[in-house]
Amino acid sequence: MASFPTLKTGAVAQYPSSRMTQTATQVYRFLDGTEQRFIAFAAPLRKWQIKLELLDEAELSNLENFLASEAGQSGSFSFTDPWDGSVYPNCSFASDAFKADLKGQGQGGTELIVRENR
């Protein structure tokens, strides 16, 4: 299985990136007005918003090629959480599109959203 690429510095994200957790509850409403609630999945799902700035052309190209090789949202790869170093083996991108902003030499940037799959 492929792993999310690291930058030349060895990092996978830069400040100000963020991470979120998602939980879900299914609610069944009955005719008498009562409700019954169930947990939709056993553990919360994680999502990371990865913001990258001051990248050179090689780093941008590496990220773009990785997204293409993983077929965007339908791929699966392992991702190391930049906050605690935990490895999540089943992750994918939230979008099929790769948007890069190249302002000059060594001044490229992009934003990717990585989500944990179940």
Please give the domain boundaries of the chain with CATH numbers for all domains.
14-116 (2.40.30)
Q: What is the pLDDT along the chain (118 residues), one digit of tens a residue?
A: 788 888 878 777 777 888 888 888 889 999 999 999 888 777 788 899 988 888 888 888 888 888 888 887 888 999 988 888 889 899 999 888 888 887 777 678 888 899 998 8
CA distances from 115 to 15, 21, 32, 87, 105 (A): 18, 10, 39, 13, 30
CA dist 13 and 84 (Å) reads 12
Where would I find the beta strands (DSSP E) of 1-118? 14-22, 25-29, 35-39, 45-55, 77-80, 87-93, 100-102, 108-116
Report how far residue 30's alpha carbon sits from residue 46's, in angstroms, rounded to the nearest whole number.
32
Output the pLDDT for position 30: 93
